[in-house]
Amino acid sequence: MSEIAVRCEGLVKTFSDTGALNGLSLDVVKGEILALIGPSGCGKTTLLRLITGVAKPDAGSIEVGGRVMVSPERFVPPEFRRVGMVFQNYALFPHLSVAANIAYGLHGADKDDQVAAMLQLVGLSGYADRMPNELSGGEQQRVALARAMGPRPDVLLLDEPFSNLDSGQRVHVRNEVRAILRMSGATAIFVTHHQEEALFMGDRIAVQHQGSIQQVGNPGDVFGNPATRFVATFMGETDFLPGEVTAEGVQTEIGLLQSTHPVNVGDQVEVAVRADDVRIAPDPTSGAIVLTREYRGMVNVYRVRLPSGRFIHSLQRHTVRIAPATPVRVLMDPGHELACFINSN
């Protein structure tokens, strides 16, 4: 069985009338990168603060590296937790050199060797004497990573570490950071708002909503087989089409669709349809009409009105050009299974 590096059970944290965490439970496996994703205000930072020990939960327990850090009987202060933290603003000491920043949390006679090893790990061997203001954003983030990893924590927490980087740098730095974490075998919880970043960075993804975890799984599972309507909405551009379950599949206004979820014949359901799964083709006999085309560079997203008046989106390569007001046939790849949710209306 996989060794658990961090175990959170039943965490509750309330600020005056706001329930930031509502009985959240989560396991992080040793050596994995767990990407924690959720909308603003869902309690991601609160969870990290409880794991580091700078805040106390109202209820619940936390274990790190097999040691109980928080329980009704016990509270281990942050300095004894072996938890490393990388912040979005890097939080480097501006008056200390790169080497001094990394040496800050290190001890022992071989401190200089440890600093040199960390500099090499993050690819900044020639930068020991530079000051933070002489580094690019991406380089500063790598120093912050080296400083947090130096003391060999049981778990490294990264709170939106790439937010201050522009989109080009962001892709470059996240590749580097993932490779560094992989190489060192670190266990990490990586918080992000961006689904693409979560899918790329995470060995597993945990989707948080309103103070609890809705789904944990590998990226393909969470994206392809969302457990809840919220996860389906949050991961990907999703429309929901009503349908009725028949023996052959779910009958919807765009045809018969197959469900990944267990449903019963006769159930009224909503099928989660992703824009990238929807194809459209001009067809003068169709009652579906292209309303708008949103240009996004490599792709266009078409907003289509179905005969029922509902809307559906279709993501197409930039080479597909269909003018607004064109009647189109709406197609799904045959055999492709989609998430279905019981319609509560």
Nearer to ligand ATP, 97 or 210 (CB): 210
- Give the strands of the sheet with 268-274, arranged side by side: 337-338, 255-259, 249-252, 238-246, 268-274, 340-342
Angle at which helix 111-121 crosses helix 137-149, to 10 degrees, equals: 130
Contact with ligand ATP (CB under 6 A) among 3, 18, 281, 337: 18
> CB burial class (10 A; 0-12, 13-18, 19+) of residue 305?
middle
**By CB under 6 A, residue 60 contacts ligand ATP:** no
**By CB under 6 A, residue 42 contacts ligand ATP:** yes
Q: Which residues, 153 to 212, sit near ligand ATP by CB under 6 A?
A: 193
* Amino acid letter, 17: D
Task: In whole angstroms, give the CA distance from residue 233 to residue 334.
Answer: 22
Contact with ligand ATP (CB under 6 A) among 5, 6, 20, 273: 20
Provide the minimum distance between the beta carbon of 37 and ligand ATP in the complex, in angstroms, as a whole number: 10
> CB burial class (10 A; 0-12, 13-18, 19+) of residue 94?
exposed
Residues in the chain: 345
**By CB under 6 A, residue 268 contacts ligand ATP:** no
**By CB under 6 A, residue 45 contacts ligand ATP:** yes
Provide the minimum distance between the beta carbon of 268 and ligand ATP in the complex, in angstroms, as a whole number: 33
Task: In whole angstroms, give the CA distance from residue 302 to residue 307.
Answer: 16
Provide the minimum distance between the beta carbon of 324 and ligand ATP in the complex, in angstroms, as a whole number: 35
Q: Which residues, 296 to 325, sit near ligand ATP by CB under 6 A?
A: none
Contact with ligand ATP (CB under 6 A) among 10, 41, 66, 282: 41
Contact with ligand ATP (CB under 6 A) among 37, 44, 85, 207: 44
Task: In whole angstroms, give the CA distance from residue 148 to residue 118.
Answer: 10
Residues that bind ligand ATP (CB under 6 A): 15, 18, 20, 38, 40-46, 193
